[in-house]
Chains A and B, each alone.
Chain A
Amino acid sequence: MTSTDTGQRRRGTDVRPVITDLMDEDTILAVAGDAWISLVGEDEVLVPIPGDLPGDVLSSWVDVVGPWTGSVVLTTGRATAEALSRALLRETAPEVLEVEDVEDAFGEIANVVGGSIKAALPGPSGLSLPQVGHAPLVRNPADVCRVEVLWRGEPLTISVQGALPPLPVPSS
C-alpha cells in the first residue's frame, strides 16, 4: 500500500514543546529549594533575587532526553561551588578540597535538581550522569526557563534549556 505525503504528518511531528510550555520559574524554585534543604541543610534557603555572577564560574548539569530534550544547568562562582561542596560534605570535608570533591558534590546537586525537573516533565525520559565544567550553550533562546537566586548572598543560576535548535519557520 502506498500513501501520499501531504506534509500534514510531518508538520504534526514537528510540534515540539519548548520548556516554557511545560514549566515555570516557580516550579524550578520549588524543586531547587527542596534539594537545598535535603542536601545542603535544613536552614539553607535560596532567595529569588538576581545577582551578578563573578568572572570565574563553574557549571554542573544533567541532560534530560525525552519528549523534551535539554539540560538542567546550575552555574555559580567557583568559590561558591566550593562552599556548597563543603556544606554537603560537612564533617567529612577535607581541609583542602580536591577538584574531584567539588565535581562530585556540585554535580550531585545538579543530579538531584535535574531528576526532580525530569519528573515534572512529560515522559518517558532518560537522565544522564552529571557533568561539571563550562555550561552547554543555549541552542534556542525561546526554549529556556531560568531562575536567578542568592545562596548565602552569593549568586547562582538554574537554567532549564533545550538542547535542540529552533524549528525552521515555514516559508509560506
Chain B
Amino acid sequence: MKILIADDSRVMRQIVIRTLRQAGYDDHDIVEAEDGADALAKVGSESPDLILSDWNMPNMTGIECLQALRAQGSAVPFGFVTSEGSAEMREKAANAGALFLIAKPFTEDTFREHLDGVIA
C-alpha cells in the first residue's frame, strides 16, 4: 500500500511515519508532500492508496486539497492528521469527504483506532 503524507513540517512528517511504524503499519511505501498543492500533484504522479494530511498548510490547505481531489472525481481515501481537532473542524472534514480526523497530539493507539480497516 502506498501512503501519501502531507504536512508542511518535515519533523511532523517524520513523526507521522514513526507513529505509523510503531502502530504496526511498517510495510508500506511512503510518499511525502510539503503542502496541499504538492499533495494534489503527487496524487496524479504517485497514485497513493491513502492520504494522511495536515489541515493548515501554506499554498493549499488540506481541506482545499481534499475538495480539489473530489472535484476532479478522485475518491482516494483521505484522512486528516491535524492540530485542528474541534467538533467544528471534524464536521467540516467529514462533510468534505474525509474518512477520519486524527488530532495532534496523537499516540500509536490513536493511529490504530482510526487506521485499522483503512490500511490493509
Contact = CB atoms under 8 A, between A and B. Distances in A.
B106 to A, nearest CB: 6
B11 A112 contact: no
Contacts of A88: 11, 14-15
Nearest to A38: B105
A119 B103 CA distance: 10
A35 to B, nearest CB: 5
Contacts of A115: 82-85, 103-104
A23 interface: no
Given A112-B83, A115-B82, A124-B88, A38 B106 contact: yes
Contacts of A34: 105
B9 A127 contact: no
A108 B105 contact: no
Interface stretch (A99-107, A137-145, A146-154): A99-107
A154 B45 CA distance: 46
B86 interface: yes
Contacts of B15: 39, 88
A107 B104 CA distance: 14
**Chain B interface residue count: which class?**
20 to 34
A108 B103 contact: no
A107 B12 CA distance: 10
A82 to B, nearest CB: 13
Contacts of A125: 86
The secondary-structure label for the interface of chain A is: helix
A112 B105 contact: yes
B10 interface: yes
A129 interface: yes
B67 interface: no
B105 A127 contact: no
A119 B85 contact: yes
Contacts of B56: 111, 127-129
A108 B86 contact: no
Looking at B56, B83, B84, B103, the one whose CB has the most chain A CB atoms below 10 A away is: B83
Nearest to A129: B56
A89 interface: yes
A123 B106 CA distance: 22
A80 to B, nearest CB: 16
Interface of A: 34-35, 37-39, 85, 88-90, 92, 101, 104-105, 107-108, 111-112, 114-116, 118-119, 123-125, 127-129
20 contacts: A38-B105, A39-B105, A89-B14, A90-B14, A104-B9, A104-B10, A108-B12, A112-B83, A112-B104, A115-B83, A115-B85, A115-B104, A116-B83, A116-B85, A116-B105, A118-B84, A118-B86, A128-B56, A129-B8, A129-B58
Q: Which 10 A-B pairs have CB atoms at the shortest separation, nearest pair first? A: A115-B83, A38-B105, A105-B11, A112-B104, A119-B86, A108-B9, A35-B105, A88-B11, A34-B105, A104-B11
